[in-house]
């Protein structure tokens, strides 16, 4: 596992505050894939929340100097502030179940003292296959190779 190498201390501080406040969330998308060992690059960190109206999200944001920007017109909800500028809010994962169903399909990743949930690689692959976007089609072979490797390592561990 990458053990948080893709995150700076300010991103980890925000994730720590979310965890400390008891907010139910998971990291999804390519950031979650990278945390599971995929050699991919992403420009953002996608967070999926059980309840975006949870007041504890605002408390966590305030602790790190960020704010919540409500959706306006075609603009989706977002976070603003230097400490949270790389985080995007995900409202749904196309081709998958809802948050309550998918929280069961996560792995625990340690980021220093913080343990966060990341959507399992096979679920990320399923969502990207469902969307059929060109950018996803380009990364799918890499994600599938990593999943195959992780599955083989896990199978060897079980045989011991």
Q: SS3 of 149, please? A: helix
Domain span at residue 88?
9-159
Asked if residue 68 is part of any domain, the answer here is yes
Query: Rounded to whole angstroms, what are the CA distances from 48 to 53, 87, 121, 127, 155?
Result: 12, 10, 15, 14, 30
In a domain, 140, yes or no: yes
Contact 68, 58 (CB under 8 A): yes
Give the pLDDT of residue 1: 40
Query: According to the model, what pLDDT value does residue 2 have?
Result: 43
- DSSP symbols for 86-111: TEEEES--TTS--HHHHGGGEEEEEE
Is 4 a domain residue? no
Q: Judge whether 131 lies within some domain.
A: yes
> How confident is the model at residue 66, as a pLDDT?
97
Is 18 a domain residue?
yes
Helix or strand holding residue 118 (H, E):
strand 114-119
| CATH classification of the domain holding 50 | 3.30.460.40
Say if 2 falls within a structural domain. no
Number of independent structural domains in the chain: 1
In the prediction, which pLDDT does 3 show? 47
Residues in the chain where the model's pLDDT stays below 70: 1-5
Residue 73 in any domain: the answer is yes
Q: Could you give phi then psi for residue 89, rounded to 5 degrees?
A: -95, 125
As a whole number of angstroms, the distance between CA 91 and CA 95 comes to 13
Has residue 139 been placed in a domain?
yes
**Rounded distance between C-alpha atoms, residue 157 and residue 62, angstroms:** 43
* 146 neighbors 33 (Cβ within 8 angstroms): yes
Residues 132, 37: contact at Cβ < 8 Å?
no
């Amino acid at each position: 596992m990458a053990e948080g190498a893709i995150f700076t201390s300010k991103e980890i501080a925000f994730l720590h505050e979310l965890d400390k406040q008891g907010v139910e969330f998971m990291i999804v998308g390519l950031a979650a894939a990278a945390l599971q060992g995929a050699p991919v690059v992403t420009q953002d960190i996608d967070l999926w929340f059980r309840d975006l109206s949870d007041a504890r999200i605002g408390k966590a944001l305030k602790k790190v100097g960020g704010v919540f920007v409500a959706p306006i017109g075609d603009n989706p909800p977002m976070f603003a502030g230097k400490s949270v500028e790389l985080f995007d809010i995900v409202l749904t994962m196309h081709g998958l179940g809802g948050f309550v169903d998918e929280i069961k399909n996560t792995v625990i990743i340690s980021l220093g003292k913080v343990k966060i949930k990341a959507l399992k690689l096979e679920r990320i692959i399923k969502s990207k296959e469902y969307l059929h976007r060109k950018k996803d089609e380009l990364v799918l072979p890499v994600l599938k190779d990593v999943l195959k490797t992780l599955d083989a390592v896990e199978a060897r561990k079980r045989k011991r």
